[in-house]
Structures are given as C-alpha cells and as structure tokens.
A = this chain, B = another copy of it.
Amino acid sequence: MHILIAPDSFKDSLGAPAVAVALAKGIRKSLPKAGIRTVPMADGGEGTVESIIEATGGRIIQLPVLDPLMREVSSFYGITGDGSTAVIEMAAASGLELLDPEERDPWITSTYGTGQLVRHALDQGCRKIVLGIGGSATNDAGTGMARALGVRFLDGEGAEVTEGGGSLGDIRVIRLEGLDPRIGKTRIRVACDVTNPLTGLQGASHVYGPQKGADPEKVKNLDANLTFFAELVREQLSMEISRVPGAGAAGGLGAGLMVFLGGTLVKGFDLVAETVGLEAEIQWADLVITGEGRMDRQTRFGKTPFGVAQMAKDHGKAVIGIAGTLEQGAEEFYRSGFDVIIPIQERPVSLEEALHNAAALLERTGDRLARCMRLGIRLAGEESDINAHRV
C-alpha cells in the first residue's frame, strides 16, 4: 500500500514537516510494510519555505536584510533541491511580526528587505522565484522591494523619496533603467489568495491598514497615496493596476510585483503544489493523508487540506484529513472528497496542552488510523474468505 502524507502545518504548534513525520511514524508502527512518502504542504503563508525545502530536499539560506523600519535583521529564504527555484516569504524580511506593536506604522514601513531577498536569490542563480506575501507590515505598493532591485522613485526635485506608504504621494518620476536585468529572465510567481484591489474601500489600506497600525485618518491618506501611485504607474509605465484583483495584497506588494518584476499572482495552494510536485506523488499513492491544526469551512482555514483532497479525488484516490481541532460540520468535508476526517485529541484538554502535545498526539493518531485500516483489511479478508467458501 502506498501512502502519501501531505499536511499543512498545525499552527502555533508544529510545522508541516514535523506533522508529516509524526503521522508517518505512527502509521509505520501498525502498517510496517506500507510505502510511505511525506510531502509537507503549505498555502503560501507562514511555513511555505520550510515545507517546500523539506519536500524538495532543498536548503535554507540565511542572510541579514533590512526590516520594515530599515534596521538590520536576520532573515532567510529557501532554494529547492534542484537549485532552480527560490522560495521567499515576504514576512521573513518585511513582516508585521518583526515589529513590536508600538512600532507598527505602514506610513513608514518598507518592503526593501523583501527586494534584498529576491536579489540574493538572483545572485545564487535562481531564475524561478516563488513568493509568499502574507503577514506584511507595509503599505508601500512594493516600492521598497523595487528600490532594492534598482528601481528609483524620485520627487519633484529629482531626489529619492523616503521609504514607506506615506511618501508615495511625493513621487513624481519612476525610473526603471536601474532595475536588475536578471529580473527580465526570471519567472516570478506570487502565492496570493486574496482578491483585494489596490485602492478603495476593499483596497489594501482600508482592509489591512488598521491591523498594521494605521488609524482612520492615516488609512484615508494611505489609500489616497496608493491611488496617486496607481495613476503615476498608468501615466509613466502604461499599466493599469488599481482594480486588478490581488493588487492590494500585502499593502500593494501584489501590485508592485506585477508592475516591477513581471510577477503573476497564483493561488497559494496551486503554486506550492506545483513547486513540490504534489500531483506526481498523488498518482503514486493509494491513500492520501492531509490535515491542518484546525479544519473548518472558514476562509482562513482548510485551504491546503481541501486542495490536497480535491487533487486526490481527481485521481480517484482515498483521502483522509487529520485535524487538531475539527469544527462541527465534518459533513461538509465529506461532500468535498474526504473519506474521513480524524481528530487527534484523546481527552478533554486545554488548547494550550493540545498544542504542546501535538507531535505525540499525531503519532498516536497515525497508529490508530493504521490499526483501523488494518482491521478493515482483515475484515474484508474474512469476508472474502467466507465468500470463497460459499463458492
């Protein structure tokens, strides 16, 4: 029997590689002859680099970059096992988590560090870049990132404007001549599951500005700046970006990646799945196991398990979901292709204890699952024995 284990991370508890390893360990205990492969998954958000690196046998590159407030910070990205593709999480250089709550201010925060990661990946010879852009601290339309790669944003006097979403309104001229020429030969794809436009009430500033530290007045001004910036891009670069779905992701970094790096936005799951070669692994498998710390039908959860289940179903494979927290409505999962969803909890406990024990719980869940299937196999065997005798 071939079993593919392709879970997302269990948030606040275990990364996807550790989840996969724990499940595999448990399953192997009771189905020692099963062929097991692990392909840790992600949805383009936190943990995407870790999962892809693990799944492809790649490596992590650590390097100092400038954080959202242009201070040096230790960051990282990954390169896949074949060396072709860099995998970058923008949050590792320009993320909200890098700032103390009182430091958060999208008026001045910059995506410059994300640009530095891209540049470093180009230096390593990567000509494919996968970018996860969740968790940003910024609202600069990716101008900081672009500047780190050679684009210049000049004010009325020909001087560089300062970093941050607050200075977009000062830009008068966008100069592309200095843009790193390797960008033109590089395929840049961006994991993006939001469809917010750059500007307006559904745009970057209004929807995500407040959680990044902007008060209502600042939100209004940030939105006005993005509107002005989109106008400038239209005039000087002949590109219309303000209404493009996803342009408003990560404080307009979605727009900046399209405009300056020729990036394309792709659903996070699809991008990760392609990068790790999920489909081939699913074809190999008889049974596919996926899961996530919390499984429900909310927008914020379940993207990866649902994606894995859908792909597995498309190939006629059996699918099991494993969940730390299974919200009511598993029927919804069953309609979506899952054959069964198995929660890992073993008794009434606090969330804290459950998070702390996830590895052991997952291993024992794997063992239980294998035991149940072994039972089914055994009972099927007895049944066919009986039928054989009847014949």
Contacts and interface: CB of A to CB of B under 8 A. Distances in A.
A1 B286 CA distance: 24
B330 A378 contact: no
A376 B1 CA distance: 10
Contacts of A364: 330
Given A374-B376, A382-B286, A347 B343 contact: yes
Interface stretch (A94-102, A112-120, A320-328): A320-328
Contact of A339 (B287, B318, B327, B374): B374
A374 B325 CA distance: 23
Contact of A348 (B353, B371, B373, B380): B353
A374 B377 CA distance: 9
A346 interface: yes
Contacts of A236: none
B341 A379 contact: no
Interface string A361-384: 000100011011111111111111
A375 B376 contact: yes
Given A318-B379, A376-B372, A325 B348 contact: yes
Nearest to A320: B375
Copies in the complex: 2
A345 B348 contact: yes
A341 B367 CA distance: 10
Contacts of A368: 340-342
A172 to B, nearest CB: 55
Contacts of A318: 375, 378-379
Contacts of A353: 348
Contacts of A323: 346-347
A372 B326 contact: no
A207 to B, nearest CB: 29
Instruction: Specify which of A326, A341, A373 lies most central, judged by the most chain B CB atoms within 10 Å of its CB.
Output: A373
A192 interface: no
B372 A346 contact: no
Nearest to A287: B379
A319 to B, nearest CB: 9
B377 A380 contact: yes
B376 A380 contact: yes
A351 interface: yes
A245 to B, nearest CB: 34
A350 interface: yes
A354 interface: yes
A376 to B, nearest CB: 2
B376 A339 contact: no
Instruction: Specify which of A325, A327, A339, A346 lies most central, judged by the most chain B CB atoms within 10 Å of its CB.
Output: A346
A209 to B, nearest CB: 33
A391 interface: no
A280 interface: no
A380 B330 CA distance: 25
B340 A324 contact: no
A381 to B, nearest CB: 6
Contacts of A373: 372-373, 375-376, 379
26 contacts: A1-B379, A1-B383, A286-B382, A286-B383, A325-B346, A325-B347, A326-B347, A330-B364, A340-B368, A340-B371, A342-B368, A343-B345, A343-B346, A345-B345, A345-B346, A347-B354, A372-B376, A373-B373, A373-B375, A373-B376, A373-B379, A376-B376, A376-B378, A377-B383, A380-B381, A384-B384
Given A345-B345, A345-B348, 6 more contacts: A1-B383, A347-B354, A348-B350, A373-B376, A377-B383, A380-B380
- Report, nearest first, the 7 A-B pairs whose CB atoms are least far apart: A376-B376, A373-B376, A340-B371, A372-B372, A325-B347, A345-B345, A377-B380
